[in-house]
Structure 1
């Protein structure tokens, strides 16, 4: 077995690099469910690190429910490892940014209120004035008990009367906009980038400090190019992977079904 590539000049902690590599190997089924991992001595030798560093990586995997330690026996792959959402289709489907099937991602509303004192870019993207009332919704997305993402949305209160007091249908903003308000987006402009997590995001997503997050932010529009919603969603970079479908167009390849 070849030595694993650990970048010792990277700002990413070595234990986290090992944790990520082990998680990828487990996802690839290098070891079967309930199978015992190599010993700490063997893994430390494989990654060319101390046992202390190796134990940090294993502790994170155990915290995430990927492995479990059995006293006097060793470390084993859990029969139902922590979920890893693979190849989420990034397309506009029924007003949602992410096609969730076949994954059942549940949303929990954390905040739903009228806000006025917010960042200027929110007003700019929604083409509103600083004294306009805006509905703010913050949600936590979870798969099989594991937090995957934190989403924030802003919508002009003028087009969604009393939304701040209206329970979301299935905790879905897009379903609520379509069924209750008859609002549907016909165009979405999104941007994706990788950012560092803050302490509050680590607490919500139950991830290690400095876990990379995939930030998707953008604006949805009506037919007449009027903004409907401005949003940003932070996905745990160690738990999701997106698939982009692109097809040829006159001016190059574009993302789409």
Structure 2
């Protein structure tokens, strides 16, 4: 790639802080292999010229990337790429298949359970799951971690009758799909997804440790068993700079 000096547009009227925009841009450039691991990135003078910003703002951006472990600073030598922050690739496969593919590609996403309990019925969710309107729901909330950083926040609801005591016992390695398959012999055959760009609310931003107006994608999913009975309804927020979506469409 041509590494000559260029001007990169930063929206200085945006409510998203300039340093955050610059850090995201540099992260993307590393992800796209403009600079490889252990390669020195341009000097502060060149980067401030490219982005049209002050050195104070640039150093704040570099400090954020350094905290993520993406770059490293060597006294008297400059700033070097420490790792390529490749995003998680989400291809809308069934959960067990997606998890297997990520492991094959050396990507290890760690789910952590935040809360798990039996909740009161939620009318629209009970309707989606084709349950009696008075049936309680098993509710599980988890955060997904990649490279020690939160990348997603998942809320799942299931019929409390189909998965007895699931909220009382630990999930297998905190994996819901693995627990459903191995403990309850429930394996979804299909899944329906809807996708929406969102701004997470304050509580979710705090859990995900992100800044106001950070890009995020909400995926609402309903999984179905062999007999087309709904199994699980979920809402998952994926961070836009840490997750890449891949959707293949063929013409039959």
Normalised-by-shorter TM-score class: 0.7 to 0.9
TM-score calculated relative to the size of structure 2: 0.85
Distance 2:236 2:178 in 1: 18
* Counterpart Cα distance in 1 of 2:166 and 2:28: 42
For 2:127 and 2:204, the matched residues in 1 are separated by: 25
Change (3 A) 1:52 1:130: farther
**Alpha-carbon deviation of 1:219?**
1.0
CA contact (8 A) 1:89 1:244 kept: yes
- Any stretches of 5+ residues in structure 2 without a counterpart? none
Q: Does structure 1 residue 228 correspond to structure 2 residue 234?
A: no
CA gap 1:71/1:198 in 2 versus in 1, 3 angstroms: farther
Match status 1:243 vs 2:233: no
Q: How has the CA–CA distance of structure 1 residues 144 and 10 changed in structure 2, closer, same or farther, with 3 Å as cutoff?
A: closer
TM-score by length of 1: 0.84
Tell me, in whole angstroms, the C-alpha distance in 2 between the residues paired with 1:86 and 1:170.
19
| Counterpart pick for 1:171 among 165, 168, 174 | 174
Could you say which structure has the higher strand fraction? 1
How far 1:228 moved relative to its partner? 0.8
- Which residue of 2 is the match for residue 43 of structure 1? 47
Aligned in 2, Cα 1:156/1:221: closer, same or farther, shift over 3 Å?
Answer: same
Q: Secondary structure at the match of 1:163?
A: coil
User: What is the aligned partner in structure 2 of residue 254 from structure 1?
Assistant: none
Q: Which residue of 2 aligns with 1:88?
A: 90
Distance apart, 1:241 and its partner CA: 0.6
1:134-153 to 2 correspondence within 5 Å?
A: 134-153=137-156
For structure 1, list consecutive stretches of 5 or more residues without a partner in the other structure.
Answer: 250-257
Q: How many residue pairs align between the two structures?
A: 246
Indicate the residue corresponding to 1:182 in structure 2.
185
Whether the 8 Å CA contact 2:39–2:81 is kept in 1: the answer is yes
Aligned-pair distance for 1:117? 6.3
